[in-house]
Amino acid sequence: MDLKSNEPFWLVKNGLPATYPSLKEDAKCDVLVVGGGITGSLIAHQCIRDGYKTILIDKREIANGSSSATTSMLQYEIDTPLYELIEKVGEKGAVASYEACSKSIDQLGKLARQIRSKAGFRKKDSLYFAALKKDVKGLEKELDARKKAGFAVKWMVPDEIVKKYDLHETYGGILSKQGGSVDAFMLVHELLAYNQKRGLQVYDKTELTGVKYGSRTNEVKLSTGATIRCKKIVYCVGYESASMIKEKFVDLISTYAIVSEVAPAVSRKYKNVLIWNTVDPYLYMRTTDDGRMLIGGEDEEFRDPQKRDALIGKKEHKLLKSFEKYLPGIPFQSDFAWTGTFGETKDGLPYIGEHKAFKNSYFVLGFGGNGITFSVTGMEMVSNWLKGKGHLLTPYFAFGR
């Protein structure tokens, strides 16, 4: 599946940080991580930290799937508002899911400092604003639910939003202190470089073509003709899991994004805030670490790569119009436009756990706008399971829930 196009900004900005060989000889390991994006690199980091002999493979170049197309907004707010998630899964699971995403932002910051990352991790405020008057009631319910759960949030009236952010055409919004952003593509390569020095083996252009599942070990066949014998497989394959698993569990969507030319004055004003709204699909804005503005949204149901890509020009125009509507008078000269395929689940939660059709295996699939923060939570969950321990979120993120 083609997961991204046309010129994702992160690929052009970062070039080729590293190259990796394909695996041509048979190998053995404790844990095989399948997928070399941000999720796979985080899971591999945890496995190495826990002392497991770990191999990571990817059928493409490393981080050239969805991790090169992501806008890398780090939010604890799940695509399903907290008050609605409570109705869907109960208060315990809903609040725990939000708390896990909140904690993940701080954990990712700590990890970035630990590996001396230059991927531009930055903590930011998060402004979630009502784009329509009818959305205010739901946003107020969300404010109350978050306050009750102990999250630090406050209501901003439209005049406050205009004064602080020059953001117009709003009906108020929720300001949270917990958010962030990062260059996920660069972070992947940094994590792999850090862990290669600690024993991680990384191979790209190495596709898993078949698995012989055993009672205690699995034998993995590769496109190169080699095999890997492993005790556990962790599938970090994102939206391609939809073609692996028979039952439907995720809806694939195409999202679009544009990045401006470098604009230091604009970037300074908005460098410490994520901005997103209540429109469905929602619009979101953030700055990059090199002084650009990024806008994303205009989601469409995924049909095929050709039809998705053909819409880039039209979607770029619509995103520019939205920027002009909410931030009138602020210049935005588009420099990059691209699209990527992502996914939505019925409750906004990820799928992290075992699947009955895949023995000795786990899936870590961080769908939706919280893919990166869900993946950080997945590190803890996989670590627990490999040690024979449970995890509070297991039933809420499970297949068949």
pLDDT digits (tens, 9 = 90+) for 279-292: 988 899 999 999 99
What integer pLDDT is reported at residue 5 of this predicted model?
A: 47
* End-of-domain residue from the set 181, 196, 222: 181
pLDDT digits (tens, 9 = 90+) for 188-227: 999 999 999 999 999 999 999 999 999 999 999 999 999 9
Q: Residues 221, 359: one domain?
A: yes
What integer pLDDT is reported at residue 250 of this predicted model?
A: 93
- pLDDT of 1 > 50? The answer is no
Q: Residues 149, 271: one domain?
A: no
> Is 99 domain-assigned?
yes
- pLDDT of 96 > 70? The answer is yes
Q: Residues 111, 199: one domain?
A: no
Q: Residues 130, 223: one domain?
A: no
- pLDDT of 257 > 80? The answer is yes
> Is 376 domain-assigned?
yes
Q: Which of 316-320, 347-351, 366-370 has the lowest mean pLDDT?
A: 366-370
Q: Residues 27, 158: one domain?
A: no
* Mean model confidence pLDDT for the chain: 94
Question: What's the number of domains the chain is made of?
Answer: 3
Picking from 113, 368, 133, 126, the residue whose alpha carbon sits closest to that of residue 239 is 368
**pTM value?**
0.95
Q: Residues 336, 300: one domain?
A: yes
Backbone angle region of 14, left / alpha / beta, with phi > 0 → left and psi within -120 to 50 → alpha: alpha
What average pLDDT does range 34-39 have in this prediction? 97
Q: Residues 84, 167: one domain?
A: yes
Higher-confidence residue of 8 and 290: namely: 290
pLDDT grade, residue 25 (50/70/90)? very high
Q: Residues 198, 173: one domain?
A: no
What integer pLDDT is reported at residue 343 of this predicted model?
A: 85
> Is 74 domain-assigned?
no
What integer pLDDT is reported at residue 3 of this predicted model?
A: 43
Q: Residues 86, 172: one domain?
A: yes
What average pLDDT does range 255-270 have in this prediction? 92
Q: Residues 277, 354: one domain?
A: no
The CA distance from 202 to 226, in Å, is 15
Q: Which of 6-10, 85-89, 182-186, 349-353 has the lowest mean pLDDT?
A: 6-10
pLDDT grade, residue 270 (50/70/90)? very high
Q: Which of 133-137, 317-321, 346-350, 364-368 has the lowest mean pLDDT?
A: 364-368
The answer to whether 94 and 101 have CB atoms below 8 angstroms apart is: no
pLDDT grade, residue 6 (50/70/90)? low
Q: Residues 28, 55: one domain?
A: yes
Higher-confidence residue of 90 and 281: namely: 90
Q: Residues 214, 163: one domain?
A: no
* End-of-domain residue from the set 181, 197, 232: 181
- pLDDT of 120 > 70? The answer is yes
Q: Is the dihedral of CA 19, 22, 25, 29 positive or negative?
A: positive
pLDDT digits (tens, 9 = 90+) for 294-322: 999 999 888 788 888 899 999 999 999 99
| Residues of the domain holding 103 | 79-181
CATH number at residue 364: 3.50.50.60
